[in-house]
Amino acid sequence: MTSLREKQALILDDEERFAFALARQVLETPKLSFWMILIPIILVYHMFRHRRVVDGRKGFVKHYLIMRKKALEETLPLVEKGRKPRIDEILKDSNLPEKAKGPFKGLFSVLVDHYADLLRSDGPDVSSLVRSAYRTRTNYLLFINRLGQAEKALNNALRPYMDEQPAAVDEVMKSVERFSEQIRREEVARIFSR
């Protein structure tokens, strides 16, 4: 039987894998053409752009995982001892705009509920934990939809506070939402294909 700490590590590894898959979709690697090799300055510029994309992906993953790590940390005492997550305390310590605190709390709660279900289930890997916790493809898809809606609500609440151009922010957020859904649906098909 897998311990709670082992399940926690499995879940975090899976979240990191998802974040890297999402980063690869959203931040595409620049393509190298044959003619670029012939002109050294173009090749150097290409390598510079490639390095920026790789660094951007790492930064994306790091920031994507912050809330998920915190939610997972808050879930373990809930499952072990029945202690309620300290969501209000986390919100108080955050520097989130007031209008984003409700959506943040909603997403955080969805994550805590999901992680609690996974930690209470049994299996040697995340796919087994998901099948054990959700039992059917439909139940897991319902969770995926709730998660997507909570993420969109938080994105929408944060959109006005972004420093970038509104059109660029919208494009990036839509891309993240679209690829998140695509990757998750592929995951559902893989997990429940057996």
Tens-digit pLDDT profile for residues 108-148:
999 999 999 999 999 999 999 999 999 999 999 999 999 99
Mean pLDDT (the chain) is: 88
pLDDT band for position 171 (cuts 50, 70, 90)? confident
Please give the share of the chain, as a percent, with pLDDT higher than 70.
87
pLDDT of residue 31: 62
**Cα(67)–Cα(45) distance, rounded to whole angstroms?**
35
Mean pLDDT to the nearest integer, 175-179: 93
The vertex-122 CA angle with 116 and 124, nearest 5°, equals 115
Question: Does the pLDDT of residue 179 top 70, yes or no?
Answer: yes
Tens-digit pLDDT profile for residues 54-66:
777 788 889 999 9
* The pair of three-digit structure tokens given for residue 108, joined into one six-digit string: 């955080």
Long-range contacts, stretch 74-79, CB < 8 angstroms, 24+ apart: 74/112, 75/111, 75/112, 75/115, 75/116, 75/119, 76/4, 76/8, 76/119, 78/112, 78/116, 79/4, 79/116, 79/119, 79/120
pLDDT of residue 56: 76
pLDDT of residue 92: 86
DSSP three-state, residue 85? coil
Question: Does the pLDDT of residue 35 top 60, yes or no?
Answer: no
pTM for this prediction: 0.87
pLDDT of residue 150: 97
Of 102 and 194, the one with more pLDDT: 102
Of 44 and 46, the one with more pLDDT: 44
Buried b (16+ CB within 10 A) or exposed e, 70-105: bbbebbbebbeeeeebebeebeeeeebeeebbebbb
Tens-digit pLDDT profile for residues 7-24:
999 999 999 999 999 988
pLDDT of residue 1: 76
pLDDT of residue 189: 95
**Cα(24)–Cα(20) distance, rounded to whole angstroms?**
6
